[in-house]
Structure 1
Amino acid sequence: MPSLCIKTPRLTLTPITENDWPLFFKLNTDPKVIELCFDRKDELQVREKFDARLQPWVEGSASWLTLVIRDIKTQQPIGVTGFFTTEDGAYEVGYLLLAEHHGKQYGTESLAALLDWAVRAHQIGEFQAVVTAGNIASERVLIKCGFWLDEVVENAYQIGGRVYDDHIFRWRAPSTNA
């Protein structure tokens, strides 16, 4: 894959590398980050997930395109964003930000840039996102980027022994007539 670097006024988004293990581990184990996303996993499970994310992304494959979000000035990591192709061929986005960067609009800025890049570079005109009911901050990011709530799947997911509904959001590029 050619060197991928998406830039915004405040951020750079580049493919994840082995050097990003500390960031990935923290994102996947910090209770403030994962509380409405998934149960905490042990280090081996997180490592397996990380190793899978290191695989090169190929359009249409089930592997993730995982990009590290960094502050453009300091190059300090803020989080990750990306997407993968689901079993039914849909593109699904996801993102996690370090807790100390919540509320700074980095999620919105990085997701908007990712969507723009996907449309321009790969003509991907539709995305979905699955959010656990109650994850209001994540839903706000999606809505600001033009997603809409399309479906609620009741009792779809369990975190910490509690059952949650899944909120399925959809996005379509403005120029897509589908």
Structure 2
Amino acid sequence: MEASGTKIKLKQLTESDWPIFKELYTNPRTMKHVYNPFDEDVAWTVFNCRLKPWDINSDGWLSFSINELSTKATLGLIGLKITNHTAKIAEVGFMLLENARGKGIASEALTILVKFAFTELGLNKLIAMCSTENSGSYNLLEKRGFIREGCLAQNSFINNQYVDDYIYGLCKSTLNSQTP
């Protein structure tokens, strides 16, 4: 799958995306609110899992690189993982290089992914989790129409401490009712 917006193109993850994957997942600043940073071997294992063929019945992540149209530079990653096949619910996640943040790139990527999830995949709901300390992510989710559904106390263990996470949801019916 490939889909373009005004600034970016999403392309399904390929072996050529290893450098961006490694850079994001091993960077302590990028991973600060996500997980403990991976070492290169763990990053490689996770990356290879993301390369496996995917279909609507898969349990793994469908991952995309986020590529700038003007420069062709890869700026980050975004993806989804179906968490409930019967209810058609998927979790979404995204990460950007530090120098790509604050420029509308993640917003556009999330908009493209949401449209793909609801129209092409026929999903009913998308969810996202992020640390209560990650204002960049939760502000983006809220801007794109996701509703904060709760707070999960001590839901993650990052850098030797328990972290609270917000849980967000976006239902297809809610999104459709917001569209003029």
| TM-score, normalisation: structure 2 | 0.91
Structure 1: give runs of 5+ residues left out of the alignment.
Answer: none
Measured in 1, the distance between the counterparts of 2:7 and 2:80 equals 21
Specify the alignment match of 1:175 in structure 2: 176
Identity %: 27
Aligned residues: 173
Residues 149-164 of structure 1 aligned to structure 2 (within 5 Å) = 149-164=148-163
| Residue 51 (structure 1) aligned with residue 52 (structure 2) | no
CA offsets, 1:20-40, max 9 Å, x none?
101100010112211111101
| Contact in 1 for aligned 2:84/2:90 (Cα 8 Å) | no
CA offsets, 1:114-156, max 9 Å, x none?
1011212122131000111100000011111110110111111
Q: Is the deviation greater in 167-176 or in 30-39?
A: 167-176
Measured in 1, the distance between the counterparts of 2:159 and 2:136 equals 19
Specify the alignment match of 1:125 in structure 2: 124
- Specify the SS of the correspondent of 2:120: helix
User: Residues 76, 144 of structure 1: CA spacing in aligned structure 2 closer, same or farther, 3 A cutoff?
Assistant: same
Measured in 1, the distance between the counterparts of 2:66 and 2:58 equals 22
| Contact in 2 for aligned 1:62/1:87 (Cα 8 Å) | no
CA offsets, 1:4-27, max 9 Å, x none?
111000000001111110110001
- Specify the SS of the correspondent of 1:9: coil
Structure 2: give runs of 5+ residues left out of the alignment.
Answer: none
Specify the alignment match of 1:94 in structure 2: 93
Measured in 1, the distance between the counterparts of 2:128 and 2:100 equals 21
Which ranges of 4 or more aligned residues in structure 1 deviate by more than 6 Å? none
Measured in 2, the distance between the counterparts of 1:87 and 1:40 equals 27
Measured in 2, the distance between the counterparts of 1:5 and 1:41 equals 28
Residues 11-50 of structure 1 aligned to structure 2 (within 5 Å) = 11-50=8-47
